[in-house]
Amino acid sequence: MIKIYNAITKEVDDDKAAIEEILKQLNLEENMKKNTVGIVNYYYEYEESGVIQALAEKLPFKLVGNVTTFLAANGEWGDTALTLTMLTSDDVSFEIFTVLDLNQKDKNDITKEVKEIFDSMIEKEVPKIAMTFLPPLQHYSADDLVATVNEMPVMIPIYGTLSHYLGQSDFQGHLLVNDKTSPDSLTFLAMYGNVSPKFHITTAFAFDDSFIQDAIITDSDGPTLKTVNGITALEFLRQNQMLNTENDVLSSTIWVVPAILTLPNGLKIVRAFISLVEGTEYIYATGALPKGAKIKFATMDGDKTLSSAEKLIEDFCDLGENDIFAYSCGARAWSLGVNHAAEAQVIEERAKKYHQIHDTRLNYTISYAGGEICPVKDNTGKLINALHNYTLIACTFN
């Protein structure tokens, strides 16, 4: 089995203080077992100040991770924080696989390398999960990755994130692999042995809720939605009173429109439409939009965002699930406006209830994502890897 220990620091400018905090919380002498790896999520200044590099030099195990914009772990949270999740076990082993220099390779080259990696993953044993870390790229998307993995002859669940960075445009430290950061690497952390991950997903609107009319995607190009029910995407939204005549989103201060897609195999996924395509009547999403899929548009709602987080933690209370590694979509934070810490606060409130019921602390870490990768079941009950938006995903290990 895996034991998970979380640490958090806000010492962005003091590597000695940051390392001291992390080591104190992890308590390596008492907690570290034979096989150990660390997952680091960090505000971008931790890379620029050298804290990450110093941490990698100090710790006796390998690290993977990515940049993000907000973090929470075990009762603390912050914009300028760093979390380290230590996974350690005597009967689970960990192996890191990486595709480097993605910007120097085309889509076909990357796909070929991903297939080679997944072939090598299963040479001796099939991993129970491959944690996944990917930067946002123009020529290779998380949908491309998911499609490739789903086509492999052996099903390997992948769970992870697109790095989420909203700072300086020239930042180069999106992904962490061992002691080096990179703007364009794709990393997998495969786990073998006595581990049984469980996957959980929630969104700010239930999949069976009814919003505006069911519609069909009649024309699209990757993440660009061109027509719905034979009319342009913008005209469809205007006719359904989601946009005004200036094409601004009604009842919202930002241009984000979430939608539920239902694929032919019954798979339901959420997409966030984040902008207009300039000079057209089209809109752009954060993931692929297959032609022929059913689509339901919704509206941003901060209250429903918080309610969905509450419900997920309450489910963990009922099931006794613990050791939670979670990602929340950046669009969920946008729905909360200036109070973007509200989701972390709600989760901690429910964590106190968990403690009361089970007499043990809820062990969790959560960070924001630019896209959430999490397996879901299709209409036959088969587990399928999928990219989501506007969701809160969680993986538990106990």
Return the DSSP state at 243: B
Read out DSSP for 95-109?
A: EEEEE--GGGS-HHH
Phi and psi torsions of 66, nearest 5°: -160, 165
| CA separation, residue 223 to residues 163, 338, 356, 370 (Å) | 18, 28, 45, 14
- Look at residue 210 in the predicted model and tell me its pLDDT: 47
Q: Which is nearest to 259 in space by CA: 231, 222, 288?
A: 288
Tokens 């996924």: give the residue.
269
Residues in the chain, total: 398
The strand pairing partners of 6, in sequence order, are 85
- Look at residue 228 in the predicted model and tell me its pLDDT: 96
279 — alpha (psi -120 to 50), left (phi > 0) or beta? Answer: left
Amino acid at 245: T
Read out DSSP for 167-231?
A: S-TT---SEEETTEEESS-EEEEEEEES---EEEEEESS-TT---SPPEEEEEEETTEEEEETTE
Tokens 């979380």: give the residue.
6
Tokens describing residue 271: 């997409």
The rounded distance, in Å, linking the Cα atoms of 80 and 65 is 16
- Look at residue 253 in the predicted model and tell me its pLDDT: 58
Amino acid at 149: V
- Look at residue 94 in the predicted model and tell me its pLDDT: 98
Tokens describing residue 264: 């032919």
The rounded distance, in Å, linking the Cα atoms of 175 and 134 is 7
Report the alpha-carbon angle 106-107-112, nearest 5: 105
Read out DSSP for 209-227?
A: ---SPPEEEEEEETTEEEE
Helices (H) and strands (E) in the chain, counts: 10, 27
Asked whether the beta carbons of 257 and 247 are under 8 A apart, the reply is: no
Q: What is the pLDDT along the chain (398 residues), one digit of tens a residue?
A: 999 999 999 999 999 999 999 999 999 999 999 999 999 999 999 999 999 999 999 999 999 999 998 999 988 999 999 999 999 999 999 999 999 999 999 999 999 999 999 999 999 899 999 999 999 888 898 999 999 999 999 999 999 999 988 776 778 889 999 889 999 999 999 999 999 999 999 887 655 554 566 899 999 998 899 999 999 999 999 998 888 888 887 766 567 788 888 888 888 888 888 889 989 999 988 788 999 999 998 777 778 888 888 889 888 888 888 899 999 988 787 777 667 788 888 888 888 888 888 999 889 999 999 889 999 988 888 899 999 988 899 999 86
How many C-beta neighbours within 10 Å does residue 290 have? 12
| CA separation, residue 31 to residues 5, 6, 73, 214, 347 (Å) | 8, 11, 18, 52, 25
Tokens describing residue 200: 């959980």
